[in-house]
Amino acid sequence: MSPARTTSGAPVSSIGRGIAVLACFTSRAHALTLSELSAASKLPMSSTHRVVAELVTGGFLVRGQDKRYRIGTRLWSIAQLAPVSEQLRERALPTLARLYEETGENITLAVLDRGQALYVDRLVGERSVPIVSRSGGHLPLHTTGVGKVLLAYQPKESIEKYLGRRLERPTPYSIADPVKLEKELAEVRTNGYSVTRQEMTPGTGSVAVPIVRKGRTIAAVGVVAHLARLDVNRLVATLQQAAASIAKELDDH
């Protein structure tokens, strides 16, 4: 029996297996047992056992006293050197902090990543509504404020490619119709900001603006708040100021 190729679509190289094991954490809880990892990665138990052991000795995984494995600080520490972290998050953080203090609402910062909105950071307002986004997590482009902004300023082909997909509708208010969505994106471009109302979470709305550098939209900042408190005009002004401040911070190196 060929050891590397199990019947179902499984990892390829040794390193690929390691990555596959680590990737299990993205869709699950932050602590997994060996058998959960084996099931999620679709690797045999004995293989999982070995791979996990190697990841532990490398400091990429840690096993708790509860026999569950967690992401190790070594991995986390290395990841902080990713451009998205070191060159965007770090520099935007003070501005996000100010934004948070000014509004008291949830603040999100996202970039485009593989056809989804990747949340680079978020500040969860204690006195604001609970939100589904999470640092490091992905959400659809067409159901989130930051997502719409990121999509709207993409090249035309990319947009059409996205519109051609089968778009999910988390709520009845989600805009999944390509024609309506395209109209919405055009509006975003003329306005310079996006608004969502209950398109991701009932009772919740959001406003977002692009962060532009050298003419290119590299990220988006947004506010997520209770629908009733969504004072669009005021928020847009505050956000645009913040976006400019972040862009300046990035340019200043």
Contacts to DNA by CB under 7 A? 1-6, 10, 12-17, 33-36, 38, 43-47, 49-51, 67
The option from its own copies, DNA, none interacting with 23 (CB < 5 to 8 A, set by class) reads its own copies
C-alpha 19/C-alpha 14 separation (Å) is 9
C-alpha 59/C-alpha 65 separation (Å) is 16
Under a CB-based contact definition with an 8 Å cutoff, are residues 38 and 44 in contact?
A: yes
Separation of first and last alpha carbons in the chain: 55
C-alpha 160/C-alpha 182 separation (Å) is 9
Minimum CB separation of residue 73 from its own copies in Å reads: 5
Minimum CB separation of residue 240 from its own copies in Å reads: 19
C-alpha 236/C-alpha 192 separation (Å) is 9
Minimum CB separation of residue 231 from its own copies in Å reads: 21
Minimum CB separation of residue 23 from DNA in Å reads: 15
Return the closest-CA partner of residue 60 out of 69, 48, 68.
69
Helix (H, G, I), strand (E, B) or coil at 30: coil
The option from DNA, its own copies, none interacting with 5 (CB < 5 to 8 A, set by class) reads DNA
E-state strands within the chain: 61-63, 69-71, 106-113, 116-123, 138-139, 194-197, 204-213, 216-226
Q: Which residues bind its own copies (CB under 8 A)?
A: 13-19, 22-23, 25-26, 30-31, 51, 54-55, 57-60, 70-87, 90, 93-94, 96-98, 100-101, 113-114, 118, 122-126, 134-138
Which of 37/88 has CB closer to DNA? Answer: 37
Which of 76/177 has CB closer to its own copies? Answer: 76
Helix (H, G, I), strand (E, B) or coil at 111: strand
The option from its own copies, DNA, none interacting with 33 (CB < 5 to 8 A, set by class) reads DNA
The option from its own copies, DNA, none interacting with 2 (CB < 5 to 8 A, set by class) reads DNA
Which of 26/33 has CB closer to its own copies? Answer: 26
The option from its own copies, DNA, none interacting with 44 (CB < 5 to 8 A, set by class) reads DNA
Which of 61/185 has CB closer to DNA? Answer: 61
C-alpha 125/C-alpha 27 separation (Å) is 25
Q: How many Å separate Cα 107 from the centre of its chain? A: 13
Which of 44/94 has CB closer to DNA? Answer: 44
